[in-house]
Amino acid sequence: MNNFRKLLLTAAVFAAISACKNSSENNEEEQIQLHEETPTTQKNVQNEENVKFAEGKGIYTQYCVTCHQANGSGVPNLNPPLQETQYVLGDKERLIGIVLNGANEGLEVKGKTYSNSMPPFNYLKDEEIAAVLSYVRNNFGNEAEPVTAEEVKAVRENEE
Ligand code: HEC
C-alpha cells in the first residue's frame, strides 16, 4: 500500500467512527426528549383549556374591552375594574346574573361607584358566557374556579 492509500483508509475509518458516535448521541437525546413529553391525556386537557382561554379572550375583546379595558382596569368613575373584585371572584350565580342582565344600580366595587351602565348579554350562548367569565376569573390577577356552561344554563333557567 502506498502512503496516499493508507491516509485515505485512516480517514475513512475515522469518519466511520465519528458517524457512529454522533448517531448514538442523537439517539440518546431523542430518548430524553421523549421522556420529557407530557403524557397525551394531560396534553389534551391542557389544549382544551388553552382553546377555552383563547375563546374567552376573543369574547372579552369583542364585548367587554371597550368598557373594562384590556387589562381589566375599567375607566375611573365610568366602568369598574375586574381585577380581584368581590363580584368577579365571589358567588358565580351573582356574576353570571350581571353578565346576563347587565347592571345599572351603582354597584359598589372596591369602595367606589360608577356612573355608566352595563348592557345585558343574554344573547350570548351559555358556552360563550362561561368562556368569557372563566377568562376574567383567571386573568387580571384573578385566580378562581372557571364557570361552566351548565352553571350559566341553570342561572338562565332560574330567572325565567
Ligand atoms: C358599556 C360598558 C360595559 C360593557 C360593554 C361591559 N360592562 Fe361590565 N360593567 C359596566 C359597568 C358600568 C358596571 C357597573 C354597573 C353598576 O354599577 O350597576 C359593570 C359591572 C361589571 C361587573 C361587576 C362589577 C365588577 O367590576 O366586578 C362585572 C363582573 C362585569 N361588569 C363584567 C363584564 C363582562 C364580562 C363584560 C363583557 C361580556 C362586560 N362587563 C361588559 C360596564 C360595562
Distance separating alpha carbons of residues 102 and 120, to the nearest angstrom: 4
Q: Examine the pLDDT at 25 and tell me if it is beyond 60.
A: no
pLDDT digits (tens, 9 = 90+) for 60-97: 999 999 999 999 999 999 999 999 999 999 999 999 99
Calpha distance 101→73 (Å, rounded) = 22
Name the residue of 98, 115, 127, 136 to mutate for ligand 1: max ligand atoms within 8 A of Cβ: 98
User: What pTM value is reported for the model?
Assistant: 0.78
Separation of 83 CA from ligand 1 center, angstroms?
Answer: 12
Yes or no: say if 56 and 132 are a contact pair by the CB < 8 Å rule.
yes
Q: Mean pLDDT, to the nearest integer, of 2-9?
A: 63
User: What are the DSSP calls for 58-113, one per residue?
Assistant: HHHHHHTHHHH-TTS--BTTTB---SS-HHHHS-HHHHHHHHHH-B-S---BTTB-
Q: Which of 119, 112, 120, 117 is nearest to 76 (CA)?
A: 112
Does residue 117 register a pLDDT over 70? yes
The residue to which cell 351602565 is assigned: 117
| All structural domains of the chain with their residue ranges | 42-159
Amino acid at 14: F
Q: How far apart are CA 157 and CA 76, in angstroms?
A: 34
Confidence class for position 36, pLDDT limits 50, 70, 90: low
pLDDT of residue 26 exceeding 50, the answer is: no
Burial class (CB in 10 A: 0-12, 13-18, 19+), 92: buried
pLDDT of res. 20: 46
Cα(103) to ligand 1 centroid in Å equals 7
Question: What CATH code is assigned to 42-159?
Answer: 1.10.760.10
**111 close to 123: Cβ distance less than 8 angstroms:** no
Question: Measured between alpha carbons, how far is 14 from 47 in angstroms, rounded to an integer?
Answer: 47
CA-closest residue to ligand 1 atom 37: 64
